[in-house]
Structure 1
Amino acid sequence: MFEQLLKILKEHDNFIILRHIEPDCDALGSQLGLKALLNDNFPTKKVLVGGKLPTELSFIGQMDQLQEKDFKDAVVLITDTATTGRIDLENEKWLTTAKLVVKIDHHPNLDQYGDVMVVDASYPATCELLTDFITTTNLKLSPTAAHLLFLGLVTDTERFLYRSVSERTFAMAYHLTKAKFDLSAAYDEIYAINPNLARLKGYILSNFTLTPEGLAYIKITKELLKEFKAQNPHQIALWVNILGDIKGAKIWMMFVESKDYIRIEFRSRYFAVNKIASKFNGGGHQVAAGAKVYDWASVELVIQEATTLLK
C-alpha cells in the first residue's frame, strides 16, 4: 500500500490534493501536510490544494483557486474523504480529466472510488496513516509538515482519548514531535477560543439533556448561534465531546442548525453510532460519526434511534 503511493509520488510531477467539505483538522492537516511533504521531498513537482476554507481554520494554511485546466494530466490525491459526494470540489466532472485519482483515507471503505486506494480503517486519523507512510518510506519530515499532521492526529483522536488509539498512534505522535515544531502553539491554535464561544460552551454544559438510558445531547438553534456570535455551526458541532465527559453518558450527540440543514455529530464509548448516522444521510466510524437532517422533527427520530440502541 505505502510502496504504491511512494511510487506514484516519485513518478508523477503534477498533483492536486483535495479533501472533504466542511473540513476538520484531520482533513486540512492531511491535505496540507501531504503538500508540505511533497514540497520537502520533491521540490520541483507542482502541487495545488483546493476546497473551501472555514475562516476559523485559516491559520492552518491557504487553498489555491482551482480551474478545470489544472486537472488535465494531474494526479489527484483525495485525503480523509470516505465518499465521492463529500469531496470539496466545484465540479466533480473535473476529476474525469485527471491522470490518476488516489484515495487516502481512514474511514471504512464503503465507497471504493479512485484508481488507487490507500485506505486503512484501523488508523484513528488520516494524519496518522500519512505519518506511518512517512516513517515506513523514510521520507524527510519538516517541522511544517509535522505540525500540520499533528493537528489532525490530536483532534481526530480527541487528544488521544478514543478507543481506536493504539501504541502505534503514540509512536506516530512521537515521530512528529521529533521534527521540533512548536507543540504549545499547535495546541493554542486548536483549542484557544474567544470569550463569546467560551460562554457558548458554558451554555452547553448548563443545558444538555441526559436520559436515564445514558444519552446526552444538546440542540443548538440558529438563534442561539447568533446570540453567542458563533459564525460557523460546523465548528460548534465538533464540540460534541464536551458531552463525553458527563458521567453516565454512553452516547452523546450535538445537533447544530445551519442555514440549510441540522448537522449531527455522534460519539460513544462502545455503541455503533455509525449505524444510526447511516439512516440519516451520514456515516463514519463505529464510535464517531456524523449525519444531517432538515427539520427538528427528524431530530426527534434520531433521538429515538439512539435511545433504542441503548436499551
Structure 2
Amino acid sequence: MKEQIRQLIEQASTIIIHRHERPDPDALGSQFGLQVVLQSRFPEKKIKAVGEMATSLAFMGTLDVVGTTDYQEALVIVLDTANQGRIDGKEALSGRQTIKIDHHPDEDPYADVQLVDTTVSSTSELLVHLLNEWGYPIPAAAAIQFYAGIVGDTGRFQFRGTTSRTFSVAAQLLDTGIDTDWLYRNMYQTELAALQLQGYVLQHIQLTEAGVGYVVLTQEMLATFDATVEQASLLVNSFAGLKGLKTWALFLETEKEVRVRLRSKGPVINEIAKEFNGGGHPMASGATIKDLTEVEHVISRLNEVAGAFHFE
C-alpha cells in the first residue's frame, strides 16, 4: 500500500491535496506539510493544497485555487478525513485517482487507495513516518506544519494518543530548527471576544450525575460576545479539568444547524457521534443536530455511556 502510494505520487504530474472541512491544525498541517515536501522533492510537478481556510489558522499558509479541469488528470490526496461527506471540496473524488491518508477509524473507504493507521496521534505524524520510509527529506518549512498538526491533535502532547513514536517524530521535526515560539504564539493567541466568551462558558457548565458536562451556546449568545462559531468551538476543552467529569459536549447553534463537539476521558463516544450525523475518535468526536430541541437526546445518550463507565 505504501509503495503503491509512492509510485502514484511519483508518476503524477498534477497533485491536488484536500482535507476535511472546518480544518483544525492537523488538517492544515498535514496538508501544507505534504505540499512543501512534494514541491521540494518534485519541483517540476504542479502540487496544490485546496479548501476553505479557518480564520484563526490563517497564519499557517495560503491555500490554492484550482478549476474543475485541473482534476481531469490529477492525483488527489485526501488527508485527515474519515468520511466522504466531510471532505472540503466535493471535486476531490473527480480526479484520475484518489488516495486517502488518515488516522481516524476507516468507516468510509471512499478512495481508490487508502492508508489508515489509528495507532498514530495525527495524520501529520503518520505522514512523517511515511516520508521517512520513502527517504523523502522534510525541510523546516514542512516540519513546522507537521509539528503544528501533532501539537493540535495531541493537545500539546497531553492526550492518550501520544506515544513514544510521537515524541520521536516531534524530536526529528524540532531538529530542523523550527521556531516553536512563533508557532505557539500564533496557535494560542486569543481574541478578546473569545476570552470573554470563555468566561461565559465556565460560568454556565451543567454537570449531570453520570458525569456529563455540557454548555449550550445559542446564536444570540455568540452575537452578544461578537464571537464566531469557529472561535467558540476552540473552547470545547476549557472545562476538561472539572472534577467528576467523564464526558462533555459543547453545543454551537448556527443558522442552519447545531454543531456538537464531543470529548471524553474514558467512555467511547464516537459511536454516539455517528447516531447524530458525525463521527471521529473514541475520545474526541463531532456531530450535528437539527436544532436545540435535540440537545436533551444527545445528553441522554452520553449519560448512558458515562453512567456505565468507571475509572480504574
Query: Normalization by structure 2: what TM-score?
Result: 0.95
Give the match for residue 275 of structure 1: 271
Mind listing any 5+ residue stretches in structure 2 that lack a counterpart? Answer: 308-312
Whether the 8 Å CA contact 1:254–1:264 is kept in 2: the answer is yes
RMSD across aligned positions (CA): 1.4
Structural mapping, 1:248-263, within 5 Å? 248-263=244-259
Report if aligned partners of 2:197, 2:232 keep a CA contact under 8 Å in 1.
no
Corresponding residue SS for 2:157: coil
Q: Do structure 1's residue 4 and structure 2's residue 4 form an aligned pair?
A: yes
**Counterpart in the other structure of 2:77:** 77
The amino acid across from 1:288 in the alignment is A
2: CA distance, partners of 1:95 / 1:219? 36
Q: Which digits, 9 at most, give the CA deviation of each residue in 1:21-71, with x for residues without a partner? A: 111111111111111111111111111121111222211111222211000
Matched positions, count:
307
Residue aligned with 1:101, SS: strand
After superposition, give the CA deviation of every residue in 1:167-203 in whole Å (9 maximum; x if it has no partner): 1111111111111110011111111112221111122
Contact 2:18 2:88 (C-alpha < 8 Å) held by counterparts: yes
The yes-or-no answer on 1:65 pairing with 2:65 is: yes
User: How far off is 1:88 after superposition?
Assistant: 1.0
Of residues 92, 95, 102, the one that matches 2:93 is 95
Q: Which residue does 1:284 correspond to in 2?
A: 280
Superposition pairs of residues 142-153 of structure 1, within 5 angstroms: 142-153=139-150
In the alignment, which of 219, 228, 239 is matched to residue 243 of structure 1? 239
- Residue 290 of structure 2: which of 283, 291, 294 is its match? 294
Q: Which runs of 5+ in 1 are unaligned?
A: none
1:272 is displaced (CA, Å) by: 0.6
Q: Following the alignment from structure 1 to structure 2, what is the Cα–Cα distance between the partners of residues 6 and 167?
A: 26
The match for 1:174 among 165, 171, 176 is 171
Matches within 5 A, 1:1-311: 1-89=1-89, 91-92=90-91, 95-96=93-94, 98-231=95-228, 233-311=229-307
Displacement of 1:100: 1.1
Q: What is the one-letter code of the residue matched to 2:200?
A: Y
SS of the aligned residue for 1:10 comes to helix
Q: How high is the sequence identity, in percent, across the aligned residues?
A: 38
TM normalised by structure 1 equals 0.95
Question: 1: CA distance between counterparts of 2:170 and 2:204?
Answer: 35
By how many angstroms is 1:87 displaced? 1.0
